[in-house]
Each structure stands twice: as C-alpha cells, then as structure tokens.
Structure 1
Amino acid sequence: MEHKLDLIKLLEYIDPAMTDYQEWLNVGMALKSEGYTASDWDSWSKRDGARYHPGECFKKWNTFEGNGITGATITQMAKDYGWEPARKVEEYELGWNDEIQGDNDYVVIDKNWIERMEIQEPSHWNPIKEITTYLETLFEASENVGYVTSTWQTDDGKYLPTKGNYDRQAGELIQQLNQSNGDIGAVLGDYNSEAGAWIRFNPLDGKGVKNENVTDYKYALVESDSMDLEKQNAILRELELPIAALVYSGKKSIHAIVKVEATNYEEYRKRVNYLYDVCKKNGLDIDNQNRNPSRLSRMPGFERNGKKQFIIDTHIGKTSWLEWEDWIEDLNDDLPDPESLTDFWDNMPDLAPPLIEGVLRQGHKMLMAGPSKAGKSFALIGLSIAIAEGSKWIGWQCTQGKVLYVNLELDRASALHRFKDVYSSLGLRPDNIANVDIWNLRGKSVPMDKLAPKLIRRAQKKNYIAVIIDPIYKVLTGDENSADQMAHFTNQFDKVATELGSSVIYCHHHSKGTQGGKKSMDRASGSGVFARDPDALIDLVELDLTEDLIKQQEASAVASIYTKTIEKENFDYFDENVGLDDQQSVPQMTIHAKNALDKARLDQINAEIDKVVEAIKNRSAWRVEGTLREYPKFAPVNMWFQYPIHKVDDTGILKDIQPESEQPTWQKNSSKKKKTSKERKQEQNEAIESAFEACTIDEVVTLESIAEFMGVTDRTVRNRIKSHGGFNIENGEVTKK
C-alpha cells in the first residue's frame, strides 16, 4: 500500500506518553482511516509504558468506523512536535506570511580541517554536584522542572522514558539533593542504570509536559548521534554556540543545551530552524526530532549501561543568542571588498541610465513628499503611466519600461479606475498598458521588512525598471522620528532596488503646519533620514492663490472658449468683427457669441463654460522642488492639480506666487487687506460693468441675472449699482443711464 506520507515515520515524532486519552484515540482512528493496522497503533502505544495495556488497541480498533479523523491529524501532531515536511522549492508557492530564505551559506568553519577535541570524564564522580550544577545553570529556583527516571522496555529491548515528573521546582530539588546524603533515588526516584535518566531543559507550568506547558522558551537541544564524539565537541565549540550546558549522553552523542531566549513559541521555532540550519551547513549532522521546546535531554549525574552521563562544560561560546546571531551574520555578510581608485581611473564604470531624465537614474530611489491634498497618488499613477508609455511626467522625459505599482491604500476597483481615468485625462492611448502591473494589498499590508522579500520574490522575473510603493505609512516600522529605526526601514528599499535592479519610488506625507518657510528637505514628516536617504527628493508645496488670480483664470478660459468656438463655427463673422483686444475681454466675446451663434449652440457653450469655471475654482496650484544626488538642482516647476491629473503651468502665471508662509494667521490676513477703499470701490465698479455687459446677451438685463453672474445676492448687486451711479433699476430691470 502506498501513502502520501509514511505515518509510521511521523509517529516517531509523537511521544504517546505526552498525549491525552482523546489524542491517543485520534491517532488510532487516523491510522485506520488511512489503511494501517491495529498492530501499527499498538506498537506506537507501547512507548507509553505507564499507561499501555496489552490488547487494548485491538479491542478499540473495531469500534473506529466513520469517525472523520484522517492522517492529517497525525501530520499536524507531528508538526507540533517538531516535524517539518520536505518541500521542493520549484513546486512550492509561498503563502502571504512566508519569508524568503536568504542566499547566505552561514559557513563558519571548514569541517574538513576541524581538529577533534577530546572529552574528559570527571576524575571525581559526584552525581549530586552534576545534577545541581545543571539545575542551577538552566533554571530559576522557582521554575518547575520536568524529569524522568522511570522507563519501559519495547519488544526489541529498547528502554524508553515515561512521562515522568513535572511539578517540582528547581530550588526545591537542589535543596533536597544537597540534604540527601547522596541518595538521588530518594529525591528523584530510583532509575534503571541500563537506561539512564532524562530531563526537560525548559521550565514547565506544572500541569503537563507538552509544548503548551513550557513557560519560558530559553533553550534548544542540539544533538548528533551519527558523528564521532570528539568531532561533535570540536564543531560545537568552533561554532561559538551560546551553550549553557554541554552534556555527554553516556552513549554516542553530546547534548548541547543552547540559549535561544525566545519570547514565544513562534519565535522559538524560527530561531531553532536558524540554529539547525547553521549547524548542518557547518558539518553537524543534527537529529531533527529534537526541535520542540518540551523535548527530553540526558540528565547528568546518572549512569547508562556502565557509562556516566556528565557535564562536559557550561557557559561556553557566545553569551547570548543575539550576540551569536550577529556574529554569524557578520561572518556571512555580502559586503564587497574595498577597491583602489587607480584600478578604475582610466576605465570608469558606466553610470546607470536615467529613469526620469535629469532627476532619477534606474536602480536608484526617489521619495515624493507632500500634504494630503496634493494628489500624490494621482501623481505616482501618472508617473507609472509615463514610464509605461515612455512619455513625460511633470515635464521630464521618462524611459519606457515595465513598472510595478504597489497599492497599499485603495481598494482594487478604485485603483484600476484611477489608472483608466488618468490615462483618459492625459489624452494618452493605452498602447502599452501591459507595462503596468498593480499589486493590490489594501488590508493585507505587512511591515516593510516583511514585505520586501515577498515583493522581491514576485518581481524577480518581471524585469521592472521601477517599483512604486504608495503610501509608505502603511508599511512603516518603528518610530518615524527615530533616525536609527527609520534607517532600518529605508534600508528595505535598498534591498528591493539592489535585488531587482529597478528604481524604488515611494511617497510620504509632510509634517504638520505650514511648509512655505521650510526647505524641501525639511518638510517630510519624521526623521531627517526620509529626506537624506533617497537619491532624489521631489517635494510638493501648495501655492496660495488669490481671488483675483482665480477670476483672471476664469475670464481667460471663458474668453478662450468663445474665441475658439466662433472662429471654428462662424469664421466670416470672426474675421470681420473680432479683434485681438476683443479676444481678451469676456464682455466683448459674450456679445460676439450672441451675434455669431444661434441660441441652441450658445446654450451648449454656456453649459461648457460653467463646467470649466467650476473646474478652475476647484483646482489647486503647486510648486515642485527637489533635492538630487545624481543631477544638478532643477528650477522649481509650477503646476496645477485638476482632478485627476497634474499639468505644468506653461503660462508662467504661477511663477511669482509664493507658497503658504510661516506667518501667523493675523499677519497673513492683514496682508490681504492692504488695498485702499478707493481701489476696492474701483474693483466693484468694474465688476458691475463687466457683469452688465455679459448679461446683455439676454437683451433684457435683470438684477437677478447680474447677481447670478457675479455669484452674489440681489441685495449686494442693488447696493453696488447704487454706489456706482451709472445705472438705473426699475421693476428688477437694469439699464444704463
């Protein structure tokens, strides 16, 4: 019979003495459902000598029908006890929370040249001292210790441990052992000198001996029973493992109790996997069944078939897990060796080609910073499109290529619609949309140090020339005001850029408060690392538009619409009647439109004008400044943000407008009130005259139509007409005097 997994092999990882009654039954039911025999269950059950009853398995076997328990139960139990399935990398698709293993070999020693290190048996055998030294080394006085002195024997004569004791404190045991006059059995129980004794190296809660009963994940067991003892000893020491206690098992292995110092079970598993990986790569043939934290190890101070179980050494190698891990990583870093300038002076390497001409090279990093209403996401979508199509972005030519847009904020539908909206508003044909990939991660974002390897794995074969991450606050790790923590965070962008050979572009928000009085490098929120880390910093700051400028823009747009429409649809009238000065005047062009176009077409044009005027009122103005590492500083770029795109100001109208300054509110308000009363009255008179001229298109000019045109109340119009003195109002109709 063939099985997907050999469940009998998996049972080697599961100690029946550590299972409760239901778990024991589940194993039997799982074996039957997968086609195994009652003898298989019975053979495994014999390992629990304290509870095993001959014939019991066979009696219960026939009652297992239609229980729904499958081999998956045994598989999961084996995993809980440290078993890990072998995986073929090429066939295994990583899940969201999986991490990519690095390419480090973690080789510290040359196993072919290691010199054996002899093990010295104690010259003066003192079992009490052996046991108490072990307990004092590994446990706090108040911690519960799990140990086993009783055994049972299998059919082939092998001695196996029972569940043992687990509810006595280390301090209590040490005290009683020191007062026992050498009678270990009186304290720990009599043992079989052919079998020896065992101890659990992590403290327990006093309620059981499973992984869930471990209260502190201090240590892991490293053991090899297939190597020369002296070579084991030498490799363990050469690896500088943070070993709390090194114990001879009394047979063919050394038990190294290694400091793991994990805060929880998940971290324990990761650290033990790392530990075992390093040991294996350095020639130590490790027993993989020893991974779980509640595992039994050999207890010193006892004899085993004529040989002593004793402490070889304590507190050797590095002092802590972190110190050892840092040491291993340092020895296996990927840092290049220093280079001599003379080797390259006459043969300089080629510079990376540009991604954004004059701003950013391929493979480099760029940060876009700005306030929330700057439309940063739309700008980055526009950049994605510019790279995909090989077009311009904010006036800079982009190199064409594939781009990955990592969307962390928008839902999938909104993100896709935004791309299409920006394409349409830019007037671009979607000829190269295959160059844009969107990775929608809203609701699934993880810290950047976890996201980076996942991103690299998915992008390695895509040949992206740019990866755009929007926004970074979704993946921010640590305190954004901490320089060292933000340095670690931004280093993740280096990893992505280096591994993929692509540019990494990301956006961040401004700090609170007005930004006009600050330098571009000082506007981004948090540590200065944000501004100093990227190769290019693009900063957006809002321009403070005046009411006059907005009205000027509205008037210019209205006059332009009238001019273009009349020229196109009634050229003879346009050629004979519309002068250059007229084309700059809304009142004059309104009159010309009335004369040159029929009423239906005029209504269409006015509807179009309303939309344009509304759009002008709603758009904002921005100045783009930058700090570049690879290129000279560029002149500030002024642009409009009119949903959903940014357009460079080609007219120069925004050139002299200053960003919102650091002035207090009262000072900014006072600066807006510097016009004299005479100037204000002149402006009001001119506004009334312009409105009257515009409304003559309806032949009869009413108080209501002027108020609607100016966007004010009828009462305000009446007061301004009275102040003007050049108009009459009768029955709501306005006429010139």
Structure 2
Amino acid sequence: MHDNKEYLLSALDFLNPADLSYTEWCAVGMALKEEGFDVSVWDGWSRNDSRYHKGECGRKWNGFRGNSAPVTAGTIVQLAKERGWVPDTGHELGWDDTIRYDDAHMVVNRNWLEGRDIAEPAEWDPAAQLIKYLETLFEAGENVGYVSGSMKNEKGRHVPKDRGNYDRTAGQLIEALSKCHDGDIGNVIGDYDQEGGAWIRFNPLDGKGVRNENVTDFRYALVESDGMEIGEQNAVLRELELPIACLVYSGGKSLHAIVRIDAADYGEYRKRVDYLYDVCRRNGMKVDTQNRNPSRLSRMPGVLRNGRKQFIVDTDIGKENWEQWHEWIEGVNDDLPDPESLEEAWNNMPELAPPLIGSVLRQGHKMLIAGPSKAGKSYLLIEMCVCIAEGRKWLKWDCAKGKVLYVNLELDPASCLHRFRDVYKAMGIRPDNLRNIDIWNLRGRSVPMDRLAPKLIRRAAKKDYIAVIIDPIYKVITGDENSADQMAKFCNQFDKICTELGTAVIYCHHHSKGSQGSKRSMDRASGSGVFARDPDALLDLIELETNDALMLQEENKAVCRVCKMYLDSHRAWQDDLSQDDLCSRTKMLEYCREKLESGQMATLQFNIDQELERVNKMTAWRIEGTLREFPKFDPVNLWFDHPAHRIERSGALNDIHPEEDKPVWQRAADRRKESAKSKREKQALEFEMAYSAIEMDGPVSVKALAESLGITPDAVKKRLKNSNSYYYDNGIIYRKEKNGNRNN
C-alpha cells in the first residue's frame, strides 16, 4: 500500500474524471480500493463528471475482487503525471535549512482581500443583456449554441434538457432580439423555465453539433467557483487581472468569467486552461473543473432563475489578451534579486568562483563545445571527464579535481563504458578516482530539456558534482533550433541546473552545414546565435587540411619512435646513433636492418606498419575560444589520434589554414595541384583499362595502346618513362614486378 494517502489524494484531486476513458475511470476505482480507501472517495470524485450515475460506483466497487497483479496507487500517480501533475517532493529539514513556500503565481492575499459586491442592472432589459453578450463574444456570421429547456436531475437541480440549438448565427439572433420590444426573449430563444434559467455556449460552433470537435475557434474558457461569496469571487477575479471578456452572474452562487484563451487548437486550449485553473487554484479559487471543455455551457444573461436575474456584471476586465496576462502572471513572483548598490559592494567584493578549467571556465558556469561530425567531440568530453575526475591537465589547461556527471544521450551503455576505459588507456592516466565519475545512460530515454532539467537536478542534488556534461544536446532540444526565442528558453534550463546544483554545465553541439573556415568561431554552431552567445565559454573545433609533406613528417616521427622503442628492449644502441640519426627514418631503418636478426626485423616491420596505419588515420584540428570570464587564448592545434586528442607541440600545424582563410594565391595553387593530381589519376586509370583490354589478345604494343588511347606513340612512351608500373622494350609494353624489377 502507498504509505502516503495525502500524496495519492493530491494526485486524484488533480485528475478530472471527465478527461478519463471508462477503462481509466475503473482503474482509478480499483487502485483506491487496493490502497484501502472507502468507496465514498471514488464516488465523491466521480461526481465531477457529467457521466456520473448515482449508485454506479458502489456496484462497480463490490465487483473489484483483486487479482495476482492488482491495480495500485501507481496507476493514479501515472495518470496525473501524464496530465501535468508535479508531486510535491519534500525532504527532511536540517537545523540550518530555510523553509521556502511555493508562491509561484500567487497574486491574491485573501487575508487582506476586500469583497466587491455586484449590483443588478438599474433597468432590466433582457434582450439588451443577451445582445451585449453576443456582440462581445461572437462575430456576426458565427454559429451560437444555446439551451432554453431544462429538467431536474436526481439531486433536484435544474440541468439542460437537451443539446439545444446550434445552427443560428450571432447576427441572426441579434437581429431577432432587437425586435423584442416587450423584453420577451422567449420569442427568440424559446420559452425557458424561470426556475431553471437558460444556458449559452461561449465558443462559436460549426452548426453541426455541440461537441468539442464542433468548436470552430478555441477563443474562451469558463472560470466558475462557488466556494466563496459572490463579492469575494468578484474581487479575486479582478485581482488576478484575468483577461475576462464577459463576467456574468449565474443567478445562483457563482459568477461565470468568460476568459480569453485564444488557443490555436484543442491541444493548446487544454494546456492553457490547465494553466489558468492552476493559477486560480493557487489563489484560493476552487474552480469547477467540469467546465474545462471548449463546448461547455455557461449561464445566459437576460433570463431569470429562481426569481433572480442572470446578468452581465462587466465586460473587458483585466489584461487585454492571454499573452499579456501570461507574461504578467509569470512576472508577479519572479524570484529575482533586488538591485545592489555598487558603492556598498566596492570595498567588500564577493569572491569569484574558482576555475574549473584554468583560464577557460569557472565552476558553476556554462561551456559549449561546437564542431563538425567526426571531430571526436564525445571523446573530447570524455577526456575532460577523466581530467576533472583525476585532477589532471586537459589539453593545455589545468582542471579542478572533483565529481562529474556524464549524461550520455547517444551511445549504448556498453559502448560508453568501453570508451571511458579506452580514453584512460590512450591518455596514459591511471584510473585512481573512478568514483568521481557517474554516467547517466539515457539513450532511447531522453526527454526534452525542460523536462530533463528537473529530473537531473533531483538526482544530482546530494552528489556534489562540480561538472555536469551533456552529450549531445540535439537529443534534448526543445523547439526550433533556429528560433532565438525558443533557444533562449532552452538554454535557460542550463542556468537552472547551474543555479540549483552550483555546478558547471558543459555540452556539445554540431556545426551548421557548409564550410566554416570564413566564419567566426561563435557563428559556426548550428541554429540560432543564442547557442554561441549564451555560454560563458565557447570552444570551437575546425578541421585542418593536412598535406603530403606534413603526413610524411608524422610518418617519419612514428617510424623513428617505433625503431627506438624496439631497440631499447633488444640491444644497446646509444654509442652507435646520434641525435640526428634518431630523427631520420632512413638512418634508423638502415641501422635496424644491419643489427637485428631477420625474425626481429620482421616483428619490427609489423610494428611499423601498424604505427603507419594509425598515423594515416589521424586528423588535424584547431580549437578557438570565445570566453566571457578570461582573456582570449591563442588557437590550440590538435591531432585526433583515436580514441584521444593530443596537442601538436612541434608547430607543424601552425601554418595550415582552413580553406577559406588561405590567401587567394594559395587557394589557386592548391586547386592547380589538385587538378594536376586528378588528371594524373585519370590518365593512369585509362592507361590500365586500355592495357588490360589489349593484353587479353596477346602482347601489348606501343602502337596498339596509342591507337586505343587516341594519342601518339611518342605520348605513350613519355608516360612510360614516368611510370612505376610499366616499361617498354622493342615496341612491346610490359608490367613491372611489385619490387620494381622488370617482369619479362
């Protein structure tokens, strides 16, 4: 059994039975019985649904026998959460804790509220009342639904007798009402029972029915509460500045406020009405939740009910529209600090947050790493996790030591764990502080950032993380990434995590499509410029295009390094080789062939081949930074040597520029080189295809190959002079063996 009945009743109170299917309604009853509640709880809650039938709950309740897999409290909680319920998750207070109250959207202080009485119209003109109502809420050509017939229900209350009329326009009704000189509007809407009154729908219909799907414009919502005196209702509605188009006295215990919602569709209507009702509830109004539907009936002004008049109290109250009211209500309790005097702080400055990553990012701040695909951004973030956990240097910057949470949104859990171990090994760092790294695997379970942030905060509240790393953010983006407004709200979630947990938030994002070299680093991230301007530090990765000479230099280093390591473990060499020799691939290999046995040389060659394969897979990168708290640093050049990045310290990458950053003459020269290379490759391919075709019929002569290629025999001979694959002798062309010797 759920050990907190108040918690469960809170979830039940949030649920509107009118919004549930029959199956869900039964499940709620089963859960309540399973948790030890009395049938009266289910019955009382179910009365809020127009489908309620007296005695039905009792009959169903007796039929709930239970089974091996009973419906429990979790069903009610889940149904409520799916509809927006947020449970009040309290915690045990310590001596130094501050007790805080949830005063969001609190406007009305009922202890100081003075009631505002309403007054009947001095002159009673039923037709004028209804005309004013129609002119306020409807366009002339819109269909209006209304019900004049009533009957008594089981409780003795007057309720609408049927669906009423819904095929007459507001213009038609106004025209007919304007001719009611004796005030008898029954001639227009039909005779009504003066004991029960009459009803009208506040949203326009399509003329085909009165269900939600017949509503043509989700313009208004009904707010009604009969839990306080009329004067107090009037005062609260006005204090809340609700955008009320028309306020009607029901002739009974309540006022009917027709509130401007202006929703684009039914989905948005439901969200806005839920928000509206929640604000009213927080301010002491127990709103009748049966009135949520956009096709709902409200009390019609201009008719009598039990000897009392149903009349318009006022129109156009409060804010002008929903947007203005929503912005105002959100700003009422903004929890923002008061302005501070610089004079007071001048001689008593607060301490700056200590650096998390030296000269780049402070603790409690935000950092974005942006780059193209295949830049190894995830590996770069994992390297950062390792360095923070172990208190080591990341790239060229010292890191504070502490706990870090890595939110993995992209990799399956096994791959993620293996990456961490591979990075530790590649960086040569002993895993002495693995307890400082927590991994939250959310692949396949990620939710939008506005829903992820509170879940993350709740799980991390007592962990003392100094960094939370989210990889990557495209998995949790809420809204259109090109919308500045939506992305500003998205980025605010990172601020919330920083503020609530006192931790740094670090995340990565991809570059926009197209070349990036000519752009500033802060303009390369995909989507709105908010991405680059929001974080306190932006590190941007851009790939550098390596050339043959540079890669040959890296190969030389690799071969020399492998030879030296092998010699270190197999023989004394220090007296034989100079420092210059140690930097020469040719000298090292000559020495190894001379001093090593054939078996040893074969092993060394295998090691060299492996190392050369690794070198040829390396990619070169440059990190540029845009910092808010620290001076700009010089670009940092890196090799991405899978699975880790390492700084290029020799300066070999300094002179390499992204394509768009190169001088015009250099770009032209590169294009000419590329064109020449492409031409040579094309000629070599054509030569090979022509040679192979002729070879099937016998020896290949210079003359035959020239005819096949459409060039002169002299042109063929010229190509053969520069060929590493072919030669000719006495007019016949032969292939060379792989070792370069002639193959006759």
Q: TM-score range by the shorter chain?
A: 0.7 to 0.9
3-state SS in 1 of match to 2:346: coil
- Report if the CA contact (8 A) 2:355-2:400 is conserved: yes
3-state SS in 1 of match to 2:222: strand
For residues 89-112 of structure 1, the C-alpha deviation after alignment (integer angstroms, 9 at most, x for no partner) is: 3399xxxxxxxxx95522223322
Gaps of at least 5 residues in structure 1 are 93-101, 675-712, 723-728
Q: Relative to 1, partners in 2 of residues 1:567 and 1:130: Cα closer, same or farther, differing over 3 Å?
A: same
Q: Relative to 1, partners in 2 of residues 1:211 and 1:374: Cα closer, same or farther, differing over 3 Å?
A: same
Aligned residues, how many? 666
- Alpha-carbon distance, 1:615 to partner: 1.0
- Alpha-carbon distance, 1:672 to partner: 8.4
Q: Could you tell me how far apart the structure 2 residues matched to 1:268 and 1:497 are?
A: 33
Q: Could you tell me how far apart the structure 2 residues matched to 1:222 and 1:228 are?
A: 15
User: Residue 397 of structure 2 aligns with which residue?
Assistant: 396
- Alpha-carbon distance, 1:275 to partner: 1.8
- Report if the CA contact (8 A) 1:276-1:286 is conserved: yes
User: Residue 299 of structure 1 aligns with which residue?
Assistant: 300
Q: Could you tell me how far apart the structure 1 residues matched to 2:498 and 2:348 are?
A: 25
User: Residue 351 of structure 2 aligns with which residue?
Assistant: 350
User: Residue 263 of structure 2 aligns with which residue?
Assistant: 262
User: Residue 409 of structure 1 aligns with which residue?
Assistant: 410
- Alpha-carbon distance, 1:255 to partner: 1.3
1:309 aligns with 2:310: yes
- Report if the CA contact (8 A) 1:48-1:152 is conserved: no
3-state SS in 2 of match to 1:89: coil
Q: Could you tell me how far apart the structure 2 residues matched to 1:402 and 1:485 are?
A: 31
For residues 189-222 of structure 1, the C-alpha deviation after alignment (integer angstroms, 9 at most, x for no partner) is: 3222122222232334455544444443222222
Q: Could you tell me how far apart the structure 1 residues matched to 2:557 and 2:442 are?
A: 44
For residues 421-468 of structure 1, the C-alpha deviation after alignment (integer angstroms, 9 at most, x for no partner) is: 222222333333333333344455455445444443443343322222
User: Residue 161 of structure 1 aligns with which residue?
Assistant: 160
Q: Could you tell me how far apart the structure 1 residues matched to 2:277 and 2:502 are?
A: 32
Q: Relative to 1, partners in 2 of residues 1:477 and 1:611: Cα closer, same or farther, differing over 3 Å?
A: same
- Alpha-carbon distance, 1:645 to partner: 0.6
Q: Could you tell me how far apart the structure 1 residues matched to 2:83 and 2:661 are?
A: 61
Over the aligned positions, Cα root-mean-square deviation in angstroms equals 4.9
- Report if the CA contact (8 A) 1:150-1:164 is conserved: no
3-state SS in 1 of match to 2:89: helix
- Alpha-carbon distance, 1:351 to partner: 0.6
- Alpha-carbon distance, 1:346 to partner: 1.7
1:684-723 correspondence runs (5 A): 716-717=723-724
Paired amino acid for 1:228: E
User: Residue 238 of structure 1 aligns with which residue?
Assistant: 239
Q: Relative to 1, partners in 2 of residues 1:464 and 1:267: Cα closer, same or farther, differing over 3 Å?
A: farther
User: Residue 603 of structure 1 aligns with which residue?
Assistant: 602
Q: Relative to 1, partners in 2 of residues 1:163 and 1:603: Cα closer, same or farther, differing over 3 Å?
A: farther
Q: Could you tell me how far apart the structure 1 residues matched to 2:612 and 2:70 are?
A: 71
User: Residue 176 of structure 1 aligns with which residue?
Assistant: 176
- Report if the CA contact (8 A) 1:394-1:647 is conserved: yes
Paired amino acid for 2:390: E
Q: Could you tell me how far apart the structure 1 residues matched to 2:345 and 2:416 are?
A: 47
3-state SS in 2 of match to 1:414: helix
- Alpha-carbon distance, 1:396 to partner: 1.3
Q: Could you tell me how far apart the structure 2 residues matched to 1:76 and 1:444 are?
A: 20
Q: Could you tell me how far apart the structure 1 residues matched to 2:103 and 2:598 are?
A: 78
1:287 aligns with 2:276: no
For residues 155-181 of structure 1, the C-alpha deviation after alignment (integer angstroms, 9 at most, x for no partner) is: 553333333314323323333333455
- Report if the CA contact (8 A) 1:147-1:200 is conserved: yes
- Alpha-carbon distance, 1:611 to partner: 0.9
Q: Could you tell me how far apart the structure 2 residues matched to 1:281 and 1:560 are?
A: 72
- Report if the CA contact (8 A) 1:241-1:317 is conserved: yes
Paired amino acid for 2:598: K
- Report if the CA contact (8 A) 1:448-1:477 is conserved: yes
For residues 208-251 of structure 1, the C-alpha deviation after alignment (integer angstroms, 9 at most, x for no partner) is: 54444444322222222232222221221122111111111112
- Report if the CA contact (8 A) 1:135-1:170 is conserved: no
User: Residue 629 of structure 2 aligns with which residue?
Assistant: 630
User: Residue 116 of structure 1 aligns with which residue?
Assistant: 115
3-state SS in 1 of match to 2:119: coil
Q: Could you tell me how far apart the structure 2 residues matched to 1:645 and 1:273 are?
A: 50
3-state SS in 1 of match to 2:262: strand
Q: Could you tell me how far apart the structure 2 residues matched to 1:161 and 1:224 are?
A: 19
Q: Could you tell me how far apart the structure 1 residues matched to 2:107 and 2:737 are?
A: 101
Paired amino acid for 1:378: Y
Gaps of at least 5 residues in structure 2 are 92-100, 674-719, 730-735
- Report if the CA contact (8 A) 2:470-2:505 is conserved: yes
3-state SS in 1 of match to 2:388: helix
- Report if the CA contact (8 A) 2:126-2:184 is conserved: no
Q: Could you tell me how far apart the structure 1 residues matched to 2:286 and 2:304 are?
A: 25
For residues 287-313 of structure 1, the C-alpha deviation after alignment (integer angstroms, 9 at most, x for no partner) is: 344333333322111111111111111
User: Residue 560 of structure 1 aligns with which residue?
Assistant: 561
1:487-506 correspondence runs (5 A): 487-506=488-507
- Report if the CA contact (8 A) 2:372-2:511 is conserved: yes
For residues 72-122 of structure 1, the C-alpha deviation after alignment (integer angstroms, 9 at most, x for no partner) is: 9xx999x999x9898853399xxxxxxxxx955222233222232221101
Paired amino acid for 1:565: Y
User: Residue 225 of structure 2 aligns with which residue?
Assistant: 224
User: Residue 473 of structure 2 aligns with which residue?
Assistant: 472
Q: Could you tell me how far apart the structure 1 residues matched to 2:523 and 2:85 are?
A: 51
Q: Could you tell me how far apart the structure 2 residues matched to 1:146 and 1:366 are?
A: 56
User: Residue 204 of structure 2 aligns with which residue?
Assistant: 203
Paired amino acid for 1:250: G
- Report if the CA contact (8 A) 1:224-1:287 is conserved: yes
User: Residue 706 of structure 1 aligns with which residue?
Assistant: none
- Alpha-carbon distance, 1:138 to partner: 2.0
User: Residue 699 of structure 2 aligns with which residue?
Assistant: none
- Report if the CA contact (8 A) 1:621-1:641 is conserved: yes
- Report if the CA contact (8 A) 2:469-2:506 is conserved: yes
User: Residue 438 of structure 1 aligns with which residue?
Assistant: 439
- Report if the CA contact (8 A) 2:388-2:402 is conserved: yes
1:514-553 correspondence runs (5 A): 514-553=515-554
For residues 55-78 of structure 1, the C-alpha deviation after alignment (integer angstroms, 9 at most, x for no partner) is: 9x99x99xx999x9x999xx999x
Paired amino acid for 2:230: L
Q: Could you tell me how far apart the structure 2 residues matched to 1:557 and 1:85 are?
A: 60
Q: Relative to 1, partners in 2 of residues 1:143 and 1:433: Cα closer, same or farther, differing over 3 Å?
A: farther
Q: Relative to 1, partners in 2 of residues 1:296 and 1:380: Cα closer, same or farther, differing over 3 Å?
A: same
Q: Relative to 1, partners in 2 of residues 1:555 and 1:335: Cα closer, same or farther, differing over 3 Å?
A: same
Q: Relative to 1, partners in 2 of residues 1:190 and 1:516: Cα closer, same or farther, differing over 3 Å?
A: closer
- Report if the CA contact (8 A) 2:724-2:740 is conserved: no
For residues 541-587 of structure 1, the C-alpha deviation after alignment (integer angstroms, 9 at most, x for no partner) is: 3333221221122122212222232232112xx24533444323333
- Report if the CA contact (8 A) 2:104-2:333 is conserved: yes
Q: Relative to 1, partners in 2 of residues 1:395 and 1:532: Cα closer, same or farther, differing over 3 Å?
A: same
Q: Relative to 1, partners in 2 of residues 1:522 and 1:589: Cα closer, same or farther, differing over 3 Å?
A: same
Q: Could you tell me how far apart the structure 1 residues matched to 2:645 and 2:464 are?
A: 28
Q: Could you tell me how far apart the structure 1 residues matched to 2:70 and 2:597 are?
A: 84
User: Residue 647 of structure 1 aligns with which residue?
Assistant: 646
Q: Relative to 1, partners in 2 of residues 1:312 and 1:371: Cα closer, same or farther, differing over 3 Å?
A: same
- Alpha-carbon distance, 1:283 to partner: 3.5
Q: Relative to 1, partners in 2 of residues 1:287 and 1:478: Cα closer, same or farther, differing over 3 Å?
A: closer
Q: Could you tell me how far apart the structure 2 residues matched to 1:76 and 1:499 are?
A: 30
- Alpha-carbon distance, 1:316 to partner: 1.2
3-state SS in 2 of match to 1:473: helix
For residues 367-388 of structure 1, the C-alpha deviation after alignment (integer angstroms, 9 at most, x for no partner) is: 2222323222211121122222
3-state SS in 1 of match to 2:624: strand
Please identify, of 662-671 and 266-275, the stretch whose mean Cα deviation from structure 2 is larger.
662-671
Indicate the percent of aligned positions where both proteins have the same amino acid. 53
Structure 2-normalised TM-score?
0.76
- Report if the CA contact (8 A) 2:385-2:437 is conserved: yes
3-state SS in 2 of match to 1:160: strand
Paired amino acid for 1:314: T
Q: Could you tell me how far apart the structure 1 residues matched to 2:615 and 2:739 are?
A: 31
Structure 1-normalised TM-score?
0.77
Please identify, of 424-433 and 652-661, the stretch whose mean Cα deviation from structure 2 is larger.
652-661
- Report if the CA contact (8 A) 1:220-1:291 is conserved: yes
Paired amino acid for 1:587: T
1:148 aligns with 2:147: yes
